[in-house]
Amino acid sequence: MSAEKTNQSWGGRFSEPVDAFVARFTASVDFDKRLYRHDIMGSIAHATMLEQAGVLSIAERDAIIDGLTQIQAEIEAGQFDWRVDLEDVHMNIEARLTDRIGITGKKLHTGRSRNDQVATDIRLWLRDEIDAILAEITRLQQGLLAQAEQHAEVIMPGFTHLQTAQPVSFGHHLLAWFEMLSRDHERLVDCRKRVNRMPLGSAALAGTTYPIQREITCRLLGFEAIGGNSLDGVSDRDFAIEFCAAASLAMMHLSRFSEELVLWTSAQFNFIELPDRFCTGSSIMPQKKNPDVPELVRGKSGRVFGALTGLLTLMKGQPLAYNKDNQEDKEPLFDAADTLRDSLRAFADMVPAIRPRVEVMREAARRGFSTATDLADYLVRKGLPFRDCHEIVGHAVKYGVQSGKDLAEMSLDELRQFSDQITDDVFAVLTLEGSVNARNHIGGTAPAQVRAAVARGKALLAAR
């Protein structure tokens, strides 16, 4: 039975057509058609190389490139007929090319296989996705820097175990997220280097007998290096797994950030206000203003973690070289990239619009004996061992709990009942401003250090 009767490019070997359900079950065109632009880009580079290698004539090359360019226009105009019986994006485009330009279209596949073709397409696509994600990280970081600079003097409670620990600058707190995102950016930049290696030319698994010149396609497609082993080139997806690992770390950071925003917008904290456009209401409770964007981002982190686990599981049992299993690499990878990019975009839009409730934050910092460590440090400077100071301040805090007074609200006589080393200069360190300003070193929460960190951050972003 002919290939035409089976509707398959490989039908010559088969004596009956593929079962209709199996055709739908094994087809990937419904999701891999989003690779069309990169598939056409790779095909144009491949045709250009084949002409330079003497495999195609100039006229054949030009016909192929013109046909592919018109097909891309058809797709982008919504006029392309995607066929499930042609399985995937590659065969759909090749079949349409043959329809348009005749037998010359069938020559495009000379010296390559769908195995190295799809591996190339995914890398080209992911390279562009990483670039878009990096741009969103930078945009979010710019918003954090602007907020930190504006609110360097705003004081809030810093927490450990979600208990009041020490007062910090609100700007300093926001810059913690800036640092995490900087590492996320670094990881993705590094990941991109390994994504940007070209498998095209590996063919099905062993290379090709045609006189291809891989250096040409590498240059045309902007790859940094050529894959050194054809078996590896068509079969491994570690670059996709690495991306999902980096994406998972970034989503973990966004999820933690989301949790804080959810807490801070609650009536119990009331630290910040989010604009209405990033929130929704309740269908039954008219007073509600729900922080849906942070909540959804917190939830979406699980999708990306799942993509990472799914790809690791997909690859762990595969022998060399290509296996049909690898068709399952695209949907989790696509979803992870989409989810991370959209989550970053939402945060980049939202963070500059956050409005801190300055007095509420300050009042919260006054509760919980947040300057207790400052009192201990004060006593250390008076010559007492830190462990003794820790115990002394512990007694003072116990007294404060019983009397309902913060350390800064106690009189000098009240404080001196715990140590005669305490004198009237103690109140300078017990104020919130005194506590924050005392931590005036690189990485500290003093407003001067916050502004210096903002300047460093701006320089970092400018250098990208």
C-beta separation of 188 from 133 below 8 A: yes
C-alpha angle 419/422/425, rounded to 5°? 170
**DSSP codes of every residue in 153-196:** T-EEEEEETTEEEEEEEHHHHHHHHHHHHHHHHHHHHHHHHHHS
355-356 and 272-273 strand pairing: antiparallel
The secondary element (H helix, E strand) that includes residue 120 is helix 114-150
Which of 2, 161, 283, 411 is the catalytic position? 161
* Residues 1, 14: Cα–Cα separation, whole Å: 7
411 catalytic residue (yes or no): no
| Tokens representing residue 282 in the block | 């309740």
Within 8 A by CB and 6+ apart from 20, the residues are none
CA distances from 125 to 132, 192, 218 (A): 11, 11, 15
Pairing of strands 197-198, 225-226: parallel
Non-local CB neighbours of 184 within 8 Å, separated by 6+ positions = 137, 246, 249, 250, 253
Of 371, 425, 303, 8, which is closest to residue 157 (Cα–Cα)? 371
Catalytic choice (28, 109, 151, 282) = 282
Q: Is residue 403 flagged as an active site residue?
A: no
Q: Where are the beta strands (DSSP E) in 227-293?
A: 272-273
Cis status of the peptide bond prior to 321, with omega within 30 of 0:
yes
> Mind telling me the catalytic residues?
161, 282
